[in-house]
Amino acid sequence: MIGIIKRSKIAYSIYNFFHKKELEHNEILFRKWGIKKRYFSPLSSKDFKNITIENKKTISDNIDFSSCKLFNRLNETNQKNILSFHQNGFAKINSYASVEQVNAINAEINKLIANKTLQLNSSNKLMFAIHHSKLIKDFGNDENLKELLAKLIGGTPVLFQSINFLMGSEQRTHSDSIHMTTFPSGGLLGVWFALEDIIMDNGPLHYYPKSHLLPYYLNSDYENEGSLLFIGNKSYKNYEEMIAEKIKENGMKKEIFTAKKGDMFIWHANLFHGGEPHKDKNLTRLSMVFHYFNKDSVCYHEITQRPALIKSYSEQTNT
């Protein structure tokens, strides 16, 4: 019975009905794209298949960063990494955050854990610290950072989610677009921060350069679309196995990001990435991820076919 309820689109719709404030922004976009849905309706890539996007930008478009304050502060290596973002699908930025900033974030996370505001979930993640900490939320909404991200995403970035890690995720390779999907595709950025030095023994991030150029692999690609009333019943392992096969088919080479405290890594919505094994469990792997989506994109969760709950949407878009 529990399994049936978890797969029921009606159950999700009822839940969504009582979260209008976090979902009503989608109705403006539904009207724009001619989608006959309400804010509480289930969503999947199938709903957007017949919509044609005119004047869609391509990844070869040149982006002018000359007026971007953060870009102009970066050293030559970091600037080159930003300029190659759309070719590679990622950008490494060394020494983005100061030691003082990182120490303050770590102290804030420790406080939120101590008072039980944040607790590790089943995946050993601390979710949505931005909803409980002005310091962390302000760090993610830094106007210079968002100005840079706006150039990369081609719109206004909205801080949607934060995840903090105490240990390496060890998550198998995936694309964020299966979890936090957008229409139009690619309207999401991931931004990862090293809150301490990250070495091979404490589970560094791995990624596959240029994998963002592959198709967006969604429910239909592993027969997980489900039916009118229920979401698909394929396991997440089926998705991971599909991605592993696509990597093999395309001869993609994995790279590993070892980092210094304060380094930042920005990735495209469709970049394949994951976590390496955390070999030494005596070591922590303190890190933080922010996810941003383009406010002109519909944001939803492809696997569960739920629209994404965006807390304080109007507040964020006005920061």
User: Residues 17, 41: contact at Cβ < 8 Å?
Assistant: no
Query: What mean pLDDT is reported for the chain?
Result: 93
pLDDT band at 41 (very low <50, low <70, confident <90, very high): very high
Reading the block at residue 33, the tokens are 């794209």
Residue 15 located in a structural domain: no
Percent of the chain exceeding pLDDT 90 equals 85
User: What is residue 58's predicted lDDT score, i.e. its pLDDT?
Assistant: 52
Reading the block at residue 292, the tokens are 């941003």
Percent of the chain exceeding pLDDT 70 equals 94
Residue 18 located in a structural domain: no
Residue 268 located in a structural domain: yes
- Give the predicted TM-score (pTM) of the model: 0.93
Q: Across residues 156-171, what is the average pLDDT?
A: 96
Examine the pLDDT at 56 and tell me if it is beyond 90.
Answer: no
Examine the pLDDT at 81 and tell me if it is beyond 90.
Answer: yes
- Structural domains in the chain (count): 1
pLDDT band at 315 (very low <50, low <70, confident <90, very high): low
- Per mean pLDDT, which range of 99-108, 208-217, 309-318 is the poorest? 309-318
Q: Across residues 138-148, what is the average pLDDT?
A: 98
User: What is residue 1's predicted lDDT score, i.e. its pLDDT?
Assistant: 62
Cβ-count burial 3-42 (b if 16+ within 10 Å, e if not): eeeebebeebbeebeeeeebbebbbebbeeeebebebbbb
Distance, CA of 294 to chain centre? 11
How is 267-314 classified by DSSP, letter by letter?
A: EETT--EEE-----TTS---EEEEEEEETTSEEEETTTTEEPP-TTHH
- Residue-range definition of the domain harbouring residue 151: 63-317
User: What is residue 169's predicted lDDT score, i.e. its pLDDT?
Assistant: 94
264 pairs with which residues across the strands? 93, 193
Nearest to 301 by CA among 238, 221, 230, 218: 218
Tell me the per-residue pLDDT of 109-121, one tens digit each, with 9 for 90 and over.
999 999 999 999 9
Residue 247 located in a structural domain: yes
Residue 206 located in a structural domain: yes
Examine the pLDDT at 262 and tell me if it is beyond 90.
Answer: yes
Q: Give every CB contact of residue 22 below 8 A, 6+ residues apart in sequence.
A: 309, 310, 311, 313
Residue 9 located in a structural domain: no
Examine the pLDDT at 316 and tell me if it is beyond 60.
Answer: no
Comparing 310 with 67, which gets the higher pLDDT? 67
Examine the pLDDT at 93 and tell me if it is beyond 60.
Answer: yes
Reading the block at residue 181, the tokens are 């999907």
User: Residues 116, 296: contact at Cβ < 8 Å?
Assistant: no
Examine the pLDDT at 145 and tell me if it is beyond 60.
Answer: yes
Distance CA 14, CA 9 (A): 9
Reading the block at residue 194, the tokens are 């090293």
User: What is residue 284's predicted lDDT score, i.e. its pLDDT?
Assistant: 97
User: What is residue 313's predicted lDDT score, i.e. its pLDDT?
Assistant: 55
User: What is residue 314's predicted lDDT score, i.e. its pLDDT?
Assistant: 47
Tell me the per-residue pLDDT of 294-303, one tens digit each, with 9 for 90 and over.
999 999 999 9
The domain spanning residue 199 has which CATH number?
2.60.120.620
pLDDT band at 245 (very low <50, low <70, confident <90, very high): very high
DSSP 168: -
User: What is residue 254's predicted lDDT score, i.e. its pLDDT?
Assistant: 98
Examine the pLDDT at 55 and tell me if it is beyond 60.
Answer: no
Residue 36 located in a structural domain: no
**Dihedral angle of Cα 135, 137, 138, 142, to the nearest 10 degrees:** 140
User: What is residue 318's predicted lDDT score, i.e. its pLDDT?
Assistant: 44
pLDDT band at 319 (very low <50, low <70, confident <90, very high): very low
**Dihedral angle of Cα 49, 52, 53, 58, to the nearest 10 degrees:** 80
3-class DSSP assignment, residue 12: helix
Q: Across residues 35-39, what is the average pLDDT?
A: 92
Residue 260 located in a structural domain: yes
